Amino acid sequence: MPSSAESDANYVLPDSDQEKARLASQHFMMKKVMGRPSPIPEAVDVDKISDILDIAAGTCVWTLEVANLLEVKPRIHPAGSDSGQK
């Protein structure tokens, strides 16, 4: 099994503020292109869920956006995790 340092070395995108800003911009651009103002897919009935786990969350921009929606506060508890987070 590779060490943490070896695993990090194989990740091709940088873990920099510039990359985080690019990923956030990409998220909002895709929402606009897809015509979906809400980060929650239409097929999801928010009245039937209480927790959301976003694995490989990257910058957690999606997770934070869900957490700030009035329709889910305070019933739903989103959590995000990514190996690059420090």
**Span 78-82, average pLDDT:** 76
Q: What pTM did the predictor assign?
A: 0.65
Q: What is the pLDDT of residue 33?
A: 92
In sequence order, what DSSP letters do the residues of 17-47 get, joined into one string? HHHHHHHHHHHHHHHHHHT--SSS-TT--GG
Per-residue pLDDT tens digits for 3-16: 555 555 676 778 88
- Predicted pLDDT of residue 41: 83
| pLDDT tens string 36-67 | 888 888 888 888 888 888 888 888 888 888 88
